[in-house]
Structure 1
Amino acid sequence: MASSGVIDTDSEDELPSGWDERVTLDGKVYYANHHTRVTQWNHPVTGRRKVVMGELPYGWEQKINEEGQVYYIDHVSEKTTYTDPRLAFAVDAKQENDKTVRQRFDGSSTALHVLQGRDLSGKYAIVTGANSGIGFETARSLAFHGAHVIMACRDMKMAGKAANAIKLERPHAKVETSYIDLAQLQSVQQFALNYKSRNCPLHMLILNAGVFSLPYTLTDDGYEATFQVNYLGHFYLCQLLQEVLTRSAPARITVLSSESHRFTFLSTDTSLASQLSPPADNYRAMLAYNRSKLCNVLLSNCLQRRLGALGVSSNVVHPGNLMATGISRHWWPWRILFTLVRPFTKSMQQGAATTVFCATARELEAVGGHYFINCFSVQPSTAAESPEMQDELWAISEQMVANATTLTEKTGDCRVNWRTDPGTVTHHA
């Protein structure tokens, strides 16, 4: 092994002239000095040792030629190189077995940035509300990296256009659309039946769809629409797909919420059902939205308690403040506000970053029960962390599903019975 002399470089990670960075077949990075013809494990500038981890980036393949040399083919760009593409994402060797969750990304990171170097081939993902906004960028980013993405949408015309847009950019992307209307629990049930009939695994369930500032509306099931679309429909979907998720473990559920969950609470002094789905004379659009987002945090934490031991982790995400998505379309003052603040908010790619991080990051394998902002875990509201409120919400949600109008003629084939002890689930055909 050799050491270097005086090094003239602008970056501590930049290699000096005559040095080359390489990697062994077992992922250890080493450095070759072409002047002295010696190699060493330590970086000639920083002295640190590095390793490469995980799979090759999507589209790459490792080959060995007749002389025994390892080379790499990028089937996307149709290029060949002798340099391991994972070198671009090498980490310090001491981090190889370190399970500490560090902040690698921030509010300016994009979903595609989060996925750099990843290959999600063979992974199946469902994204609700994927035809536009954050949901579309989430689906697009996962598909670009090899995942098989089911875009679960109510507007199939828009969904078809969105899927075609992804395939136009990446002709080999595995994306498809499937109808779901969260405002009708029978539709949620049918979506789950259709998916289960395929006998496909499910590694990522991303509960993204949502509405905002709706006028008072009752769904076909008899519940206030904001509550049902943002929360109850997703709750039921999790119930129906839990068997597929546990069979596919390790699997992850990612629930979209909002910082607005901090500006409300649910009281045990009055009927929980009347707070969640109030009558018209007690309806406030913003309050309904805030409560639905609090329900989403409670749901994610309860899912983690019930499914974590079965290999299914659940985390909840705040994507960003006042993002210019289509969620503001139902009331013109909100459209004006969202238009005015748009230059100061995240792009849709940035908004999707935390969702994609929670759904795919290696350091979050088997890690759940967290609330993430800008790809970093923070404390949710005190109300969201109450196990008692989580269980009470769960119980009333099961009762509301059982009483849903569109399901009264349906029996059996997709009903789920969850035992009260966390971590244990039974499915009844």
Structure 2
Amino acid sequence: MAALKYAGLDDTDSEDELPPGWEERSTKDGWLYYANHIEEKTQWEHPKTGKRKRVVGDLPYGWEQETDENGHLYFVDHLNKRTTYLDPRLAFTVDDNPSKPSTRQKYDGNTTAIDILQGCDLTGKVVIVTGANSGIGFETARSLALHGALVVLACRNVARATEAMRKILDEWHKAKVEAMTLDLSSLRSVQRFAEAFKAKNLPLHILICNAGVFASPWTLTADDLESTFQVNYLGHFHLVQLLQDVLRQSAPARVVMVSSESHRFTDIKDTSGKLDLNLLSPSKSEYWGMLAYNRSKLCNILFSNELNRRLSPYGVTSNAVHPGNMMYSALHRNWWVYTLLFTLARPFTKSMQQGAATTIYCATTPELESLGGMYFNNCCRCLPSQEAQNEVTAAALWELSERLVQERAGRLAN
């Protein structure tokens, strides 16, 4: 502990800081002891607090413990190719007999994806991340792959996905990553992706629906739907529908839907209170890019809640997340106003690693095992808008989505 920071976390209290000349060390069985270099003595108790502490948990993924020729322990970080005599777990030591419980939140808006995965071994887990070639999606996929998961980068541009895969392998040659083509603006492409994935006979433990477009010019997809609605929402709906049998067979499994706080500033029902397809997939004259984005993100939360209600009895849970405010990513390229706003707000925004944290939290943290139907921001559960919590609207959206896909089923079969 002392002044150690590991993976962005500082787990020290001021009262635990060591006096000058003292050093913290650990034994092979995890107990801490303290060396006084001035008086040349060692002791078990902390020189200021009198507490005994121990190291807990497995080493962070990629680390190994070795012994040098003098019998001293040292630690090898294979991911970053470095060695140290300082146990990387010292940032997470605990009191052997704590006098009072800690009230500090474990993770927050400053937490990174790598922070959350500290000590996590995902070997044997299979993950799909849509839109994984850049931005938050790339950091999500990278973080999972560096901790042992087999990660499928599901992207529209396979060349960019392959380049993203190469970057991950350059960082750690043992990473298990694959690139597959998935164009969410085409239901046929979604169908082909699902068929290709199933042909691999792999389980699917985590499905992260991350891909999205923002403030795009009005266009219709090949399925005659407004592109923001289809890419951000309906394409993911169809993907989950096609893969739900694999998810169920792989249970416990998780789905994470990337939404946005902007879902709070819109509605998807008409004045009579019914779902209105003209609001979800508007004509060119009724289209405003920001509003279309907000509506698609509201759909994501409603879908996540309904998906959890339907599949949680089978061991598949779903949660929705907000990654962060005003984050610089490829999403901004379609709207110069967003670029300007980001330039002004950049000192206060999250990094891509921080943006991926809440997704990683919902995808992997043990405390959410078997829990779903929730919305998270800054790795903390919060309530979405009242409309996003409307179970009747969620069920109606599901039925409408099934109908939209079924109406195009004949076209998909050709």
**TM-score with structure 1 setting the length:** 0.80
SS in 2 for 1:358: helix
SS in 2 for 1:343: helix
Does residue 259 of structure 2 align to residue 257 of structure 1? Answer: yes
Equivalent pair of 2:145/2:175 in contact (CA under 8 Å): yes
Equivalent pair of 1:72/1:83 in contact (CA under 8 Å): yes
SS in 2 for 1:352: helix
Instruction: Give the gaps of 5 or more residues in structure 1.
Output: 1-8, 411-429
Q: Which residue of 2 aligns with 1:291?
A: 295
Provide the C-alpha distance between the structure 2 equivalents of 1:393 and 1:374, rounded to a whole number of angstroms. 27
Provide the C-alpha distance between the structure 2 equivalents of 1:391 and 1:295, rounded to a whole number of angstroms. 11
Matched-pair identity in %: 53
Does residue 259 of structure 2 align to residue 273 of structure 1? Answer: no
Equivalent residue letter for 1:122: G
SS in 1 for 2:278: helix
Equivalent residue letter for 1:117: G
**Shift in Å at residue 38 of structure 1?**
8.1
Provide the C-alpha distance between the structure 1 equivalents of 2:239 and 2:74, rounded to a whole number of angstroms. 45
Equivalent residue letter for 1:363: E
Provide the C-alpha distance between the structure 1 equivalents of 2:47 and 2:364, rounded to a whole number of angstroms. 29
Does residue 347 of structure 2 align to residue 347 of structure 1? Answer: no
Equivalent pair of 2:125/2:204 in contact (CA under 8 Å): yes
Provide the C-alpha distance between the structure 1 equivalents of 2:80 and 2:133, rounded to a whole number of angstroms. 28
Q: Which residue of 2 aligns with 1:163?
A: 165
Counterparts in 2 of 1:32 and 1:165: CA distance versus 1, 3 Å: closer
Equivalent pair of 2:44/2:52 in contact (CA under 8 Å): no
Q: Which residue of 1 aligns with 2:339?
A: 335
Q: Which residue of 1 aligns with 2:374?
A: 370
SS in 1 for 2:334: coil
Q: Which residue of 2 aligns with 1:127?
A: 129
RMSD: 3.3
SS in 2 for 1:205: strand
SS in 2 for 1:329: helix
**Shift in Å at residue 327 of structure 1?**
0.7
**Shift in Å at residue 364 of structure 1?**
1.9
Q: Deviations over 1:129-176 (max 9, x none)?
A: 111111111111112222211111001122122221222222222222
Equivalent residue letter for 1:57: P
Q: Which residue of 1 aligns with 2:179?
A: 177
Q: Which residue of 1 aligns with 2:7?
A: none
**Shift in Å at residue 335 of structure 1?**
3.0
Equivalent pair of 1:56/1:119 in contact (CA under 8 Å): no
Equivalent residue letter for 2:389: E
Instruction: Give the gaps of 5 or more residues in structure 2.
Output: 1-11
In terms of mean alpha carbon deviation, does 267-276 or 172-181 score higher? 267-276
Q: Which residue of 1 aligns with 2:106?
A: 104
Provide the C-alpha distance between the structure 2 equivalents of 1:217 and 1:77, rounded to a whole number of angstroms. 45
Of 60, 66, 72, the match for 1:57: 60
Counterparts in 2 of 1:156 and 1:406: CA distance versus 1, 3 Å: farther
Counterparts in 2 of 1:22 and 1:389: CA distance versus 1, 3 Å: farther
Does residue 313 of structure 2 align to residue 306 of structure 1? Answer: no
In terms of mean alpha carbon deviation, does 115-124 or 202-211 score higher? 115-124
**TM-score with structure 2 setting the length:** 0.83
Equivalent residue letter for 2:405: V
Count residues in correspondence: 391
Of 388, 400, 409, the match for 1:396: 400
Counterparts in 2 of 1:50 and 1:309: CA distance versus 1, 3 Å: farther
Does residue 362 of structure 2 align to residue 358 of structure 1? Answer: yes
Equivalent pair of 2:61/2:118 in contact (CA under 8 Å): no
**Shift in Å at residue 409 of structure 1?**
2.1
Provide the C-alpha distance between the structure 2 equivalents of 1:165 and 1:301, rounded to a whole number of angstroms. 35
